[in-house]
C-alpha cells in the first residue's frame, strides 16, 4: 500500500508490509532470549511491529534460553527491556504492554539438551491449538555463532524444521534467521552452510545483515534504476573512483573476546561493506524478486580479483588504535582494553584498494575504509566522477575546485548530496563547489524504519530479497580469505598505530595519495 503524502510534505505512519501484504499468524522463537541482542533490538522491534503495524491475532513469542525463569518472570524482563530501549515516541502504554506480554512464553533449556527441544515442540503445538498460529514458526538465533550448528542440529532432530500440513493440503512454514558472522573463513562458512542444508532448505534460511535493512542501502537500487539521469554515467567512462567508509567513533567496549577473533576485516568488510559494494556496482536485475537481485550481487563478487601476497603491501593497510580523545572523551588504546592481549596484532582499522574486473568497472579503483575509534560514526559512499576533459577557466579561477562528487550517506544523517561547480556572484569568473543536498527526514517528514523492523517483517511474509544467500556468503569469503592469507606473510609492524580520534594511520592516506587522490572524510 503506498504511503499517503500530505500537502505539508509529511507522511502518515509508514507501512512496513510490502504491497499491503499481511503476515500469517506465526510464533517467533528467540534462541538466546536473555542476551543483549534480544533485549536491545529484537524485543523493541517486535513490540513496535505489534503496536504500530498490527500483527495477526495468533502472533506469539517464545523465548528459549538457559536462565531458570517462568512465563511471568520472562514477561517482566521483556517489558523492562522494551521500556528501556524503545524510543520515547514509540513507548507502549500500559494496555499495549499488557497485550504484548500476554503473547510471550518461556522455554528454559540448555542449547544441547534434546528434552528442551521436545519441551519447545510441546509449547509450539499448544500455541497452534490455542492461538491459531497454524504451525508457522520463525526461529531467530540471537546466540553466539559457536552455538549455530548445535541449535540447527537439535531443531532438525526434534522435527521442528519440517513444515506441517494444516487446512487441508496447505502447508505451514518454518524459517530460520541466522546472525552474522557466517563462519570466520571460507572453509567454516561452507561447513556451516552444509549443516544448515541438512536441516533447512535454502528458501527457509534467512541470513541477516542488519545493514541491508537500512533505508538508504535499499534506496541504492531505486536511485540507480528508477532515475534515467544517473545510470548512463554509472561506469568506467565517467567515474574516476569510488570510496566507501564505515567509521565508528567507539572502541571495542566489552567485545574483546569476539573482536580478537574477528578483527575489522571479518567484522565489517566481509559482510556490511561487501553488501554495499555489490548494490552499488551490480547490473540491473531482470526483476525485483530475491534471486534476480542476489544473482547480480554474486556476479560482482566473482569479478573481484583475489589479492596475491605481493598485493598486500601495495593495496591494503591495517591499523590499531592507541590512546586518544574522541568528542572530548579519553579513549584507551586497543591493547589496554579489557580482555585484549597486550601483544595483540588484531587490526581495528582496514583500508583497501579493490578492483572489479568487468566491462562496467574495468580500471576503476574502489577505496574502502573501516575502523574503530575514529572521529565520528558515519557510513558513506562517494562516487567521484572524472574531471571535465578541458577546463576553460584559469587555475586562479578554479582554485580548490574538486570534480563532481555524489555522496550517499547511509548513517547517521541518511541522505544524498551532489557536489558541482557554480560561479561565485560578481564580475570575476571565480568558481566554487556547492552541494545539492537531500535528507530523508526532511523530505518525507518521517524517521526511517529500524533496520531490524524491516528485516523481521520481510521474514514474516517470506521475502528473502534483503537476506544473504549461501553463494553470496561463500563468494565474499573467497575475496576476504585472499586478503587475510596475504597478511600472514607480512611482519607484525604492518599493523600501524593510529591515535584514537584520528582518521587512521598515515599509511592509509598514502594508499590513496599515491594515486593522486584524497580521502573524502565524512
**What nine digits make up the cell of 335?**
591493547
Count the neighbouring beta carbons within 10 Å of the beta carbon of residue 483.
21
* b/e 489-509 (16+ beta carbons within 10 angstroms → b): eeeeebbbebbbbbbbbebbe
Q: What is the dihedral of CA 505, 506, 509, 514, to 10 degrees?
A: -140
Tell me the C-alpha distance between 347 and 262, whole Å: 9
Tell me the C-alpha distance between 460 and 50, whole Å: 13
The count of C-alpha atoms lying within 13 angstroms of the C-alpha of 430, restricted to the half-sphere facing its C-beta, is 9
Tell me the C-alpha distance between 282 and 358, whole Å: 11
Tell me the C-alpha distance between 306 and 146, whole Å: 28
For residue 271, CA distances in Å to 145, 210, 301, 427, 444 come to 15, 10, 12, 52, 29
Tell me the C-alpha distance between 251 and 483, whole Å: 24
CA angle centred on 444, ends 438 and 446, rounded to 5° = 120
Among 51, 272, 390, 430, the active-site one is 272
Q: Is 390 considered catalytic here?
A: no
The count of C-alpha atoms lying within 13 angstroms of the C-alpha of 54, restricted to the half-sphere facing its C-beta, is 2
Residues serving a catalytic function are 272
Amino acid at each position: 500500500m503506498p504511503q499517503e503524502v500530505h500537502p505539508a510534505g509529511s507522511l502518515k505512519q509508514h507501512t512496513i508490509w510490502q504491497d499491503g501484504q499481511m503476515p500469517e499468524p506465526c510464533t517467533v522463537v528467540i534462541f538466546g532470549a536473555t542476551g543483549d541482542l534480544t533485549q536491545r533490538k529484537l524485543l523493541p522491534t517486535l513490540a513496535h511491529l505489534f503496536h504500530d503495524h498490527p500483527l495477526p491475532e495468533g502472533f506469539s513469542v517464545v523465548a528459549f534460553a538457559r536462565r531458570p525463569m517462568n512465563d511471568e518472570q520472562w514477561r517482566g524482563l521483556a517489558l523492562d527491556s522494551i521500556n528501556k530501549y524503545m524510543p520515547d515516541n514509540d513507548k507502549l502504554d500500559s494496555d499495549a504492554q499488557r497485550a504484548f506480554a500476554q503473547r510471550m512464553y518461556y522455554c528454559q533449556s540448555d542449547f544441547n539438551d534434546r528434552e528442551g527441544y521436545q519441551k519447545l515442540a510441546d509449547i509450539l503445538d499448544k500455541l497452534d491449538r490455542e492461538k491459531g498460529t497454524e504451525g508457522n514458526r520463525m526461529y531467530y538465533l540471537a546466540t553466539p555463532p559457536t552455538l549455530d550448528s548445535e541449535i540447527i542440529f537439535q531443531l532438525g532432530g526434534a522435527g521442528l524444521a519440517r513444515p506441517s500440513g494444516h487446512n487441508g493440503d496447505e502447508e505451514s512454514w518454518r524459517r530460520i534467521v541466522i546472525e552474522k558472522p557466517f563462519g570466520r573463513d571460507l572453509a567454516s562458512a561452507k561447513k556451516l552452510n552444509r549443516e544448515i542444508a541438512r536441516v533447512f532448505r535454502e528458501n527457509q534460511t534467512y541470513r541477516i545483515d542488519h545493514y541491508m535493512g537500512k533505508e538508504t542501502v535499499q534506496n541504492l537500487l531505486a536511485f540507480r534504476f528508477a532515475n534515467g539521469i544517473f545510470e548512463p554515467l554509472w561506469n568506467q567512462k565517467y567515474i574516476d573512483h569510488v570510496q566507501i567508509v564505515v567509521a565508528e567513533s567507539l572502541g571495542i567496549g566489552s567485545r574483546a573476546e569476539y573482536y580478537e577473533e574477528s578483527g575489522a576485516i571479518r567484522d565489517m568488510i566481509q559482510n556490511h561493506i561487501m553488501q554495499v559494494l555489490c548494490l552499488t556496482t551490480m547490473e540491473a536485475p531482470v526483476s525485483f524478486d530475491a534471486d534476480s537481485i542476489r544473482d547480480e550481487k554474486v556476479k560482482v563478487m566473482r569479478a573481484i580479483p583475489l589479492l596475491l601476497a605481493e598485493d598486500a603491501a601495495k593495496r591494503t593497510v591495517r591499523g590499531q588504535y592507541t590512546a586518544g580523545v574522541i568528542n572530548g572523551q579519553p579513549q584507551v588504546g586497543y591493547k589496554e582494553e579489557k580482555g585484549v592481549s597486550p601483544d595483540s596484532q588484531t587490526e581495528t582499522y582496514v583500508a583497501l584498494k579493490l578492483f572489479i574486473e568487468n566491462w562496467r568497472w574495468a580500471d576503476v579503483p574502489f577505496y574502502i575504509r573501516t575502523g574503530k575509534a575514529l572521529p565520528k560514526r558515519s557510513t558513506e559512499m562517494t562516487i567521484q566522477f572524472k574531471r571535465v576533459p578541458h577546463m576553460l577557466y584559469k587555475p586562479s579561477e578554479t582554485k580548490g575546485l574538486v570534480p563532481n562528487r555524489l555522496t550517499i550517506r547511509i548513517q547517521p544523517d541518511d541522505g544524498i548530496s551532489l557536489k558541482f561547480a557554480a560561479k561565485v556572484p560578481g564580475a570575476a569568473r571565480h568558481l566554487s563547489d556547492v552541494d545539492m543536498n537531500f535528507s530523508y527526514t526532511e523530505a518525507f517528514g518521517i524517521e526511517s524504519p529500524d533496520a531490524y523492523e524491516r528485516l523481521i517483517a520481510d521474514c514474516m511474509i517470506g521475502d528473502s530479497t534483503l537476506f544473504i544467500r549461501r553463494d553470496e556468503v561463500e563468494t565474499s569469503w573467497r575475496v576476504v580469505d585472499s586478503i587475510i592469507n596475504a597478511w600472514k606473510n607480512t611482519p607484525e609492524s604492518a599493523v600501524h598505530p593510529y591515535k584514537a580520534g584520528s582518521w587512521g594511520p598515515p599509511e592509509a592516506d598514502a594508499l590513496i595519495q599515491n594515486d593522486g587522490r584524497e580521502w573524502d572524510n565524512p
